[in-house]
Structure 1
Amino acid sequence: MSRTVTVVLVDAAGRPLGALPPFDVPDPWWQQVASVVDGARHRYGVDVAVLRLLDADRPHPPGGHVRYLAQLTEVSAAVAPVMPLEPAAVDLAPHPLRQPWAEPGGPARSVAWATDELRRLGRPVTAVAQQRTWNLSAIWRLDTPPGPAWLKQLPPFARHEPAVLTWLTTLPLPASPASPVDQGVCVPVDLPGDANSLINDGGVGPGVLGVGGEGLVLLEDVVGEDRYGAGERERAAISAEHHAVQVRAVGAVDGLAAVGVPDLRGARLAGWIRRWLAGHDVSAAARLLDGLDERLRRVRDCGLPDTLVHGDLHPGNVRGDGTRRVVIDWADAFVGHPAFDVLRLAEGLAAPAAARLVDAWADRWRADVPGCDPRQAADLLRPVAPLRLAAGYAMFLAGIEPSEHPYHAFDVPAALAQAAAEARR
């Protein structure tokens, strides 16, 4: 599957110039714009910065014919009058929910900040390539002599990610002899050697090079490939490594919540879900919502401690090079129940393999928290996991401008239907 794209151009002041003729790009996902930038350069000889989605000929991604608003860079502005531009009707009115990177001049300001930060670190930037832009983030690759760095810009509801990454990459090694997690309070434990090395090497998240205003964060490169195709064996290893991090995080939850990581512990989760789903048609999951408080009380009685939750721990959010794995994209992180991550990691596996993954996860928690019932907690939270996702998608919709609603509008009812189906099992 591919996309056909139309790029509507504006100048640095936001004045409309017209549109480039439509062209095809190989990747179908609307937020991926590297191929759009490359296509404009190679076909029409102009450098652009894609600002935002304008509209599409289908209600949701991927594929189809998609229109983007893009700004000519300073290099290309001088040749704008000779380009084969076509008339384009476009609404350029401001919107209060528009992100800084979606405005003319926004990408240039973001890249200038990152370039200055890298220069200060002795890493002059030799090339910049825009990778992604949508309502959840904007991402650029910046090449430097020691290797690439990555600039990520986050919307207000995801700006806790740098705090999470900073905490992850400074995890301390045990300072005292081994102790188990006792009655929901975590004290230093003696982790397996590989897990200690993982933490000591900073392998649990990308290194943070700098944090700026308006959601800017500059990250070290993570070598490898996204592990979308990971099978049962690799997911089991990811789960074991992530468990070591979550055990360490139990004692840090108050501090993480204090620096802005969403606090979805216990009853707070029910309130958060209801808040964001208000105004949406929740009839498919009404029975689950009615019993949510009692269900979460039963989860609490299973005896597992709250910890740092990644929030979207599918294999695509893990990068590996064959010898080392790093969990990336912590923008959905929150403080809450550890079962949410293993349930997400198990998605897409055949039922027997998923059950083995959850059983191994449960065995680790039983060893660290004697007397707890992890399997029961996971079973109780199985329908709550997609319910939480539905509320998260609703939060995205409430925080983005209408032209970008197609990214998530269908996710809310789909997740509610999944939650209802899980509750019936």
Structure 2
Amino acid sequence: MTAAVPHTELTDPRWRDAALNWVTEALAPTGRRVAGPVEPRVRPWSLVWRVPTDAGDVWFKANTPGTRYEAALLAALARLHPGRVLDPIAVDAARGWSLLPDGGATLREATGGDADLGRWERVLSEYAELQRTTTAHVEELLALGVPDHRPEALPALFAELLDDRPALLLGTPDGLTVEAYDRLRALLPTYADRCRWLAESGILPSIQHDDLHDGNVFVAATGHRFFDWGDASVAHPFGTLLVTLRSVAHVTGRDATDPALDRLRDAYLEPWTDGRDRAALRQLAEVAAWVTMVSRSLSWRRALTTSNPARAEYAAAVPGWLEELLDIEPS
């Protein structure tokens, strides 16, 4: 695994004082003041503070180096898609700091796991439109440090990941077996062929959230807003469906083959039709989801480039997503 970045600064009193001073200064132009102690939540990939103010809560987030690009990405998406993401109160892209208003209720809180998927159809349609209008700005996002997981880049990233044996926990109870590792090596040519096909499909790369579930969507009167972009990359947009459809199935107690999930997929794909054959789009979605398993493994590896002891709790996700390539190969 890539050398771990020290995580101690997030618990250093001097770092805390500097961050709190930054929050205070960022709030000053809005007329708000910090009104109580912050409530921290520390994960291997970020620290989040709930900051009470005299006009309601705000949220401070400090990303560790593997996900530091999120702060700059938030600012860019707020400019490109006002109303579809939270508009940051302040961003320090160099330090990976962002200060955000309270977003209200999440979709998870609003529905309580309601099995009615009508709302998800609207969510996915709105999200697809965000992706479609972002295709013209991918070079800007890449320049901000958003990871490049476009289909043409993924085969080399996959090969490099297989060379990172410590990240794969090779030969350990939580990692890849030697047999699975060899099978993944043998899969590289097929994976490259699928990526080439996606790259030539005519669907342009865009921002891909890579962790879009009901806990990362805010409900608003004017639609839905998408947040927590720390796993995002520039990629084939349809890769979104990998996590989203699995999450919906889990939350609503549906089997992965439930036709209702196909309707959600089709609702997501509808904005992309533009005269395209729907059956072809469905096949693209299937292949994109399979290819995106490598993207998920890469995002976990980035998130765990930190010395936080809790990283060990999540380390199995890196080899785990790769193993799924062997279990589910698209037709």
Bucket of the pairwise TM-score, normalised by the shorter protein: 0.7 to 0.9
Q: 1:363 to 1:207 in 2, by over 3 A?
A: closer
**Contact conserved, 2:269 with 2:281, CA < 8 A, in 1?**
yes
Q: Which aligned pairs between 1:24-63 and structure 2 lie closer than 5 A?
A: none
Q: Greater RCO between the two (CA within 8 Å, min separation 6)?
A: 2
Count of aligned positions: 301
Does 1:357 find its partner at 2:277?
Answer: no
User: What's the secondary structure of 2:269's corresponding residue?
Assistant: helix
| SS at 1:331 equivalent | coil
Distance 1:150 1:327 in 2: 15
In the alignment, structure 2 segments of 5+ residues that lack a partner are 171-180, 250-254
**Structure 1 residues 314-353: aligned runs within 5 Å:** 314-320=213-219, 324-348=223-247, 349=249, 350=255, 351=257, 352-353=259-260
Q: Residues 129-154 of structure 1: CA distance to partner in whole angstroms, max 9, x if unpaired?
A: 32310211111112223322111000
Q: Is the 8 A contact 2:32 2:55 kept in 1?
A: yes
Distance across 1 between alignment mates of 2:324 and 2:190:
16
Give the match for residue 373 of structure 1: 280
1:225 to 2:124 alignment: no
Residue-by-residue CA offset, 1:262-302 (whole Å, 9 max, x unaligned): 12222212222332342134345344334211110111232
Contact 1:302 1:374 in 2 (8 A): no
- For 1:169 and 1:245, the matched residues in 2 are separated by 11
Q: CA 1:239/1:130 → structure 2, altered by over 3 Å: closer, same or farther?
A: same
When residues 103 and 372 of structure 1 are mapped into structure 2, their CA distance, relative to the original with a 3 A threshold, is: farther
What is the DSSP-based 3-state SS (H/G/I as helix, E as strand, rest coil) of the residue aligned with 2:329?
helix
Deviation (angstroms), 1:309: 1.2
Match of 1:420 among 312, 326, 330: 326
Say which of 125, 135, 143 aligns to 1:250. Answer: 135
Match 2:300 to one of 373, 393, 418: 393
Residues 162-199 of structure 1 deviation map (CA, whole Å, 9 limit, x = unaligned): 2222222222xxxxxxxxxxxxxxxxxxxxxxxxxxx5
Equivalent residues in 2 for 1:63-74, closer than 5 Å: none
Instruction: Say whether the 8 Å CA contact 2:126–2:224 is kept in structure 1.
Output: no
SS in 1 for 2:86: coil
Range 350-359 or range 244-253, more displaced: 350-359
Aligned to 1:288: 187
1:267 corresponds to which letter in structure 2? E
- Whether the aligned pair in 2 keeps the contact of 1:284 and 1:417 (CA below 8 Å) is no
Q: CA 1:424–1:223 in structure 2 vs 1: closer, same or farther (change >3 Å)?
A: closer
Structure 1 residues 295, 384: CA separation in 2 closer, same or farther (over 3 Å shift)?
Answer: same
- Deviation, 1:424, is 7.0
Aligned to 1:266: 151
Q: Distance in 2 between matches of 1:163 and 1:151?
A: 14
Cα contact 1:205–1:326 (8 A) shared by 2: yes
Amino acid at match of 2:61: K
Deviations 1:212-260 (A, max 9, x none): 3532111111011352736422221111000111111011111111222
More strand by share: 1
The match for 1:241 among 119, 126, 147 is 126
CA displacement, residues 55-100 of structure 1 (integer Å, 9 cap, x when unaligned): xxxxxxxxxxxxxxxxxxxxxxxxxxxxxxxxxxxxxxxx852253
- Going from structure 1 to structure 2, the CA distance change for 1:102 and 1:131 (only over 3 Å counts) comes to closer
Three-state SS of the structure 1 residue aligned to 2:326 is helix
Distance 1:273 1:107 in 2: 37
Determine whether 1:210 maps to 2:109: no
Report the TM-score when normalising by structure 1.
Answer: 0.65
Q: Helix, strand or coil for the counterpart of 1:237? A: helix
2:20 is the alignment partner of 1:111: yes
After superposition, the Cα gap between the structure-2 partners of 1:96 and 1:317, relative to the gap in structure 1 and judged at 3 Å, is closer
Distance (whole Å) between structure 2 residues aligned to residue 272 and residue 102 of structure 1? 33
**What one-letter code is carried by the residue in structure 2 that aligns with 1:157?**
G
Q: 1:152·1:217 contact (CA, 8 Å) conserved in 2?
A: yes
Is 305-314 or 410-419 further displaced after alignment? 410-419
Which protein shows a greater Rg?
1
Contact 1:161 1:331 in 2 (8 A): yes
SS at match of 2:104: coil
* Structure 1 range deviating more: 403-412 or 252-261: 403-412
TM-score scaled to structure 2, two decimals?
0.82
* Residue pairs, 1:128-207, within 5 angstroms: 128-171=37-80, 199=81, 202-207=82-87
